[in-house]
Structure 1
C-alpha cells in the first residue's frame, strides 16, 4: 500500500510504500484533499518515480514544489503527448526539467527577456516529431495561460524531449566536473561574502545549469552565437551577476586555458541572478 508522506500541490505528492521507499507520484488532483497517511489509489497515479534515496531526485523534488499545479498538469499533458507520438517512455526527469523550463519561460515572457535558441534550425529539421510536440506545447500554453510564444520556444521544449528520449550520461572525468563546479561555487560565495543556501530551489537550478555547462566546457562545445543584444540586456539588468560571471570566466580561462564565450557568460549571469535573488543578497 502506498501512503501520502507529503503533499506538494494538488497534482503531486511525496509517497511512501510499505517497505519505506519514497516516491514522487503525479496525477491530476492526486493531492487534492489528501492528508499525511492517506492511502493512494493505484489508478490515480500517472507516473511513479524512482526512490528518493537518489540525491539528484531530491534536488528535483525541490524544483517540483516550485512549479504551480496548473503548469505541472500542462507539463504532464506535454509528456503524455510526446510518449504517444514518439512511441517511447521518456526519462522521468523530464517532468522536473521541462516543468522548470516552462516556469522560467513564463517568467522570461513576463519580463520581456528573449533568449535565442542556438540550435533552432537543427532541432526543427533534424527532429521534426519532437519539434511538432514543441508546437503542441505552445498551443497548450496559449490555451491555458494566454501565452503567445515563438517557435524558438517550441525548439527549446523539443530539446528537452530529445534529451529525455535517452538516459543522460555525463561524459568526461567526474573529478574534473566536480572541481570546476566547486571552484565556481567558491567564487560566488567569495563575491557575495556570505554562505549560499544549498537547500534553496534556485541553488539546485543553478547546479543543474553548472552540470550542463561543465559538460559543454570539457567537450569543447560551448555556446557561441554572439548574441550581443541579449548580453547587453542582461548586463544592464543584472550587473552584479555579470560581474561575478566575468570573475568565473577569468578564473576558468587561467586554470584550463579554454576561452569562455560571451554566450556562456550571459547564461551564467542569468542563473547567478536567480540564485542571488533567492538568497536576498
Structure 2
C-alpha cells in the first residue's frame, strides 16, 4: 500500500493494491512517512475500507482527532475479542466506540459514574451484543487507566447494535429499542400472555424485527410482489395478522414509514410462533 496522506503518527490515508482508498491505523505508522511511500505492513494494526459511499478522507480526519492511546486501545480490543478482523468496512464503529471511550475515561478520572437507563433492554433484547460488549470492555480496560465502570457495557452494546445501520449516531438504535419493547407489550396485552424475552420464539421475533428496521432504514422492505407465502400466512393466522397490523401501525407512527404487506405477514408469523409457544403448541 502507498500513502496518500499522513494524518498523524497513527493514522494514514493510503491506496491499496486494488486501487481503492483505505485508512490505516497503527502506532508510528505515519512517522516520517511521505506521500507515495510504501507502508510497512508490520506497522498496520487495522485497515478500514470505507463503505456506503463514505468519504475516506473525512473519516481519516475524524479518526486522527481521537487520542492515540484511546484509538489504539479500541482498535486492538475490537480485533482481540473478534468483533472486527484486521480489515473492516465499518470505520464508524471504531470512531463511535473510541469517542465514547474517550468521554468515559474523562468521566472516570473525575469519579463520575453514569447509570444507563437501557441496561435491562440491552441485556435482554441484544444478548449477543451485550456479551460482546462485556468482552470488549474487559479488553479496553486492560489497556487504559483509569478503568471504566462495568455499566459502560450497556453503551458499548448500543454502539455494536447501531453498527448494523447506516446512520452514524445512536438515535435510530434508541428508537428501535423502544419500538421493540412496545411491540412485545402489545403482544402480551392482546393475548393476556407473559412472553419471556429469553424464549426461542421471542428471540426470533426480536431478531426479525431488528433486520426489519435495517430494511426500513435502507429503504429495502420486502415488497414489489406480494408473495404467495405472505398470503398464506395471513390466511392461516388471521388473529396474528391483526396483531401484526397493529405493530405495523406503531412502526409507521414512530418511523414515518408504512410497512409492506409482506413485512406485515412475516411479523404475523412471528407473533403466531410466540403465542403458540406460550400456549404449548407449535407453529
Alignment CA distance shift 1:125-1:29 (3 Å) = farther
What secondary structure is seen at the aligned counterpart in 2 of 1:151?
coil
Give the match for residue 225 of structure 1: none
CA distance in 2, matches of 1:216, 1:129: 17
Give the match for residue 36 of structure 1: 35
Give the match for residue 133 of structure 1: 132
Give the match for residue 117 of structure 1: 116
CA contact (8 A) 1:26 1:47 kept: yes
CA distance in 2, matches of 1:138, 1:124: 15
CA distance in 1, matches of 2:142, 2:82: 21
CA distance in 1, matches of 2:63, 2:157: 20
Unaligned residue ranges in structure 1 (runs of 5+): 171-207, 222-257, 259-281
Give the match for residue 94 of structure 1: 93
CA contact (8 A) 1:15 1:25 kept: yes
Give the match for residue 61 of structure 1: 60
CA distance in 1, matches of 2:172, 2:91: 23
CA distance in 2, matches of 1:126, 1:214: 15
CA distance in 1, matches of 2:74, 2:32: 22
Give the match for residue 26 of structure 1: 25
The superposition leaves residues 212-248 of structure 1 with CA deviations (integer Å, 9 ceiling, x where unpaired) of: 4478679986xxxxxxxxxxxxxxxxxxxxxxxxxxx
Say whether 1:70 aligns with 2:69. Answer: yes
Paired residues, number: 182
| Deviation at residue 39 of structure 1 after TM alignment | 0.5
CA contact (8 A) 2:109 2:146 kept: no
CA distance in 1, matches of 2:177, 2:157: 22
What secondary structure is seen at the aligned counterpart in 2 of 1:83?
coil
CA distance in 2, matches of 1:98, 1:42: 25
| Deviation at residue 42 of structure 1 after TM alignment | 4.4
Give the match for residue 154 of structure 1: 153
What secondary structure is seen at the aligned counterpart in 2 of 1:72?
helix
CA contact (8 A) 1:78 1:133 kept: no
CA contact (8 A) 1:63 1:100 kept: no
The superposition leaves residues 258-278 of structure 1 with CA deviations (integer Å, 9 ceiling, x where unpaired) of: 9xxxxxxxxxxxxxxxxxxxx
Alignment CA distance shift 1:216-1:59 (3 Å) = farther
CA contact (8 A) 1:14 1:23 kept: yes
The superposition leaves residues 7-62 of structure 1 with CA deviations (integer Å, 9 ceiling, x where unpaired) of: 33333211135887432112344334423332014464343333599455444333
Unaligned residue ranges in structure 2 (runs of 5+): 180-253, 255-283
Say whether 1:80 aligns with 2:92. Answer: no
CA contact (8 A) 1:82 1:161 kept: no
